[in-house]
Chain A
Amino acid sequence: MNYTEEEGKTVEEAIKKSLDKLGISFDEAYIEVLNDGKNEQSARVGVGYKNADGMIRNVVETVLSKMDIRASIDIRDEDGIYIVNVRAKKYNGLLIGKDGGTLLAFQHILRRILQRKLPEVKIDMDIGNYRAKRYNKLVRLSRELSGKVKETGKEVKFEPLRAYERWIVHTTLNDDPDVFTYTTGNGEFRTIVVAPRKKKIA
């Protein structure tokens, strides 16, 4: 357990109770006073590990255990963004969902929950390196398609892409002087077109 909420007659008492329960020191703890106990109610505090790492792990572990899924969870800090990678063997596919839909839903919930405790925290979630592989694939595909556009002088359209996938394609081809990209289509059909900057003169 990495987070607990306790009550006491005073805030100090509630904090001490929480720290004892978690087995951590005051310096190691993230403390939030939920009720200062001054309006004739008991004081209530939320206490957890100060490092976001422990809190993120706790939420991911709890959600997965309630889904009856055993997984290994790897969290690393990459330039201030917590990259959470979950490996659940045969359940990777279930957790990723169609076109990564379940993965994005999980990430959304994880971010919402953590932002209540740590407003500044930034989290990216991955399952079985799905997003990392997808990223590499889209970068490769972007270069391939831009090559084709340069060769033929004709526009090429991607398969439907999610917002963050469109961003990957845009940024990959941003520096290319010979092509430009634009977005087209609505809703789930929204995608990117790679177009030549100069029309080839036949």
Chain B
Amino acid sequence: MKDLIIYIAKALVDRPDDVDVKELHGEKTVIYELKVGQGDLGKVIGREGKTAKAIRTIVTAASMKTGKRAHLEIVE
């Protein structure tokens, strides 16, 4: 899952080397904190948050396979 988020984020931003994802494991949920480089926040959020919503939808779908709920947070 972490790899999936990193791949998508790196492919969308101008500074792929600054992309980082941290995992925080809860009992039933995993929180993924996606960090992008300066000025790249808009690239992963998109117009009216459309891209962020799309990434979250894909993450949710992928989490159905793992059986553990995944939650994505995006920070700069």
Contact = CB atoms under 8 A, between A and B. Distances in A.
Interface of A: 59, 62-63, 66-69, 91, 94-95, 97, 101-102, 104-106, 108-109, 112-113, 116
A134 B18 CA distance: 41
Contacts of B53: 105
Contacts of B61: 67, 94-95, 97, 102, 105
A49 B55 CA distance: 26
Contacts, number: 56
Interface of B: 3-4, 7-8, 11-12, 46, 50-51, 53-55, 57-58, 60-62, 64-65
Name B's interface SS. helix
A102 B65 contact: no
A68 B54 CA distance: 19
A54 to B, nearest CB: 15
B7 A108 contact: no
Given A62-B7, A95-B61, 18 more contacts: A59-B11, A63-B58, A66-B4, A67-B58, A68-B65, A69-B65, A94-B64, A94-B65, A101-B57, A102-B61, A104-B54, A105-B54, A108-B50, A109-B12, A109-B51, A109-B55, A112-B12, A113-B11
